[in-house]
Amino acid sequence: MDLRISPSRVRGTARAPPSKSYTHRAVLAAGYADGALVTNPLFSADTKATARAVEAYGGSAERRDGDWEITGFDGAPETPADIIDCANSGTTMRLTTATGGLVDGLTVLTGDGSLRSRPQGPLLDALDQLCVRADSTRENGQAPLVVGGGTSGGDVSIRGDVSSQYITGLLMAGAVTEDGVAIDLTTELKSAPYVDITLDVLDAFGVEATVVGGDDSEIRASGADGFEIEGGQSYAPDGGSYDVPGDFSSMSYLLAAGAIAGDDELTVEGAYPSAQGDSKIVSILESMGAAIEWDRTAGAIAVGRSSLEGIEVEVADTPDLLPTIAALGAAAEGTTRITDCAHVRLKETDRVAAMATELERMGVETEEYEDELVVHGGGLTGATVRGHEDHRIIMSLAVAALVADGETTIEGAEDVDVSFPNFFDVFAALGVECTEA
């Protein structure tokens, strides 16, 4: 689907969708348990892939009045009867590849073309250290993957600067091994807040994990040397249910829209504090000069149109915010410099290159380096841009289109289904003129 967006002002109230990151982890944690009710989950293409993986390992997942009722495999996943298709979900593949290492037989995991190009080698090597068979069928560290044979746990050394999802997968699986898993990081950990999300969900399901080292009182995993999780633990949330918080990654597009195209105030609900690093979007907008106020108790953020100024911001721990910040930088005065972003090239697409290319199509001057994206603000013009089959690229370009001179057509806009299925319906309700091209 190609979508045409006209320059628009936004106003009113919107509610962010539930967190994709929390939903993935909660659904899989319920799978490791005897079962659980996951309330207020995100039903999206990615999270459905994780639910299918739980079913493949012997559980079940049924929607019930907007919730997900999961029957788990109680720490003992079965050998899947068929391959596990993770579609476009890197989170699903990495978290459930570790699950596959627990089965007696073999598990085969694959995905679409984009997912089959993403790096899985460090995770395969870590599983190999745990005496799991862990192979890339093409011997290039990419899917399709074959894992299995079972493990009692043990010690692993792994890079922390490629994907924090490797750590999450090992921790979640390690809790149900006999001996547990001790993880030694051989590099600095990137995206540490996402490991904090994992620790948060593990804690809610009664599973204990320890951070070794660490240098930040707010982000537990920041600066960590490693992690330890004891074996023989059971997953069981209090009261048999787990409630998913709102998603700050998705919220960032709504807040950015209000900051550059607000007509009076735009209010985003469901913004309660959690371990999500992407809540940093609030302080980023403040630094750029946005009129923004967060009532943490009420879970509401109000933002109004402001004259924004370019800033320098690093995204080591918040990679998913790079497209949003780039769009904000294009609409701001001056230069926005996004640093520490090499790992953002390893997402659904190379998001550094994709944002540079598409903003250039919209008349914005950019500079692209291996670990940095520079955006020179001003001069946004309507154009035909590509979504790169990446939900975050699409939504960020939609934000930039609000203040472009002329209409913007986004090719492949349907891929927002990965994390924010009704994004364009929400945009339209806020006053954005968007129609199928």
> Is 20 within any annotated ligand binding site?
yes
Strand order in the sheet with 241-243: 60-64, 67-71, 35-39, 241-243
HSE toward the beta carbon, residue 168, CA cutoff 13 A: 31
Residue 345 counted as an annotated binding residue:
no
163 is in an annotated binding site: yes
- Give the torsion sign (CA, 19, 22, 25, 27): negative
Q: For residue 94, how far is the Cα from the chain centroid?
A: 12
Residue 271 to residues 37, 247, 284: CA-CA distances in angstroms? 22, 8, 16
Which of these is catalytic: 46, 196, 320, 390? 320
The pTM of this model reads: 0.92
Does domain 20-231 fall under CATH 3.65.10.10? My reply is yes
> Residue 118, annotated ligand binder?
yes
Q: Which two tokens stand for residue 157?
A: 């050394």
Q: How far is CA 423 from CA 96, 104, 159, 254, 394, in A?
A: 28, 42, 35, 9, 10
347 is in an annotated binding site: yes
Domain-wise residue ranges, the chain: 3-17+246-436, 20-231
Place of tokens 């969708």: 17
Structure tokens at 169: 């997968």
* Angstrom distances, CA of residue 224 to CA of 12, 25, 163, 204, 218: 42, 21, 14, 21, 13
CB 378 within 8 A of CB 414: no
CB atoms within 10 A of CB 82: 7
Question: What would the 3-class secondary structure string for the chain be?
Answer: CCEEECCCCEEEEEECCECHHHHHHHHHHHHHCCEEEEECCCCCHHHHHHHHHHHHCCCEEEEECCEEEEECCCCCCCCCCCCEECCCCHHHHHHHHHHHCCCCCEEEEECCCCHHHCCCHHHHHHHHHCCCEEEECCCCCCCCEEEECCCCCEEEEECCCCCCHHHHHHHHHHCCCCCCEEEEECCCCCCHHHHHHHHHHHHHCCCCEEEEECCCCCCCCCCEEEEEECCCCCCCCHHHEEECCECHHHHHHHHHHHHHHEEEEEEEECCCCCCCHHHHHHHHHHHHCCEEEEECCCCEEEEECCCCECCEEECCCCHHHHHHHHHHHHHCECEEEEECCHHHHHCCCCHHHHHHHHHHHCCCEEEEECCEEEEECCCCECCEEECCCCHHHHHHHHHHHCCCECCEEEECHHHHHHCCCCHHHHHHHCCCCEEEC
Contact call for residues 24 and 92 (beta carbons, < 8 A): yes
**Whole-angstrom Cα distance, residue 78 to residue 107?**
9
| Dihedrals phi, psi of 282, to nearest 5 degrees | -65, -50
Task: State which CATH number among 3.40.50.620, 3.30.200.20, 3.40.50.10540, 3.65.10.10 fits the domain covering 3-17+246-436.
Answer: 3.65.10.10
- 180-to-22, 140, 154 alpha-carbon distances in Å: 23, 29, 6
- Active-site residue flag, 405: no
What angle do the packed helices 322-331 and 281-288 form, to 10 degrees? 20
Any binding-site annotation on 191?
Answer: yes
Measured torsion, CA atoms of residues 379, 383, 387, 393, in degrees rounded to the nearest 10: 10
pLDDT at position 395: 98
3-17+246-436 and 20-231 have identical folds: yes
pLDDT in single tens digits along all 437 residues of the chain: 999 999 999 999 999 899 999 999 999 999 999 999 999 999 999 999 999 999 999 999 999 999 999 999 999 999 999 999 999 999 999 999 999 999 999 999 999 999 999 999 999 999 999 999 999 999 999 999 999 999 999 999 999 999 999 999 999 999 999 999 999 999 999 999 999 999 999 999 999 999 999 877 789 999 999 999 999 999 999 999 999 999 999 999 999 999 999 998 999 999 999 999 999 999 999 999 999 999 999 999 999 999 999 999 999 999 999 999 999 999 999 999 999 999 999 999 999 999 999 999 999 999 999 999 999 998 899 999 999 999 999 999 999 999 999 999 999 999 999 999 999 999 999 999 999 98
> Does residue 72 have a known ligand-binding role?
no
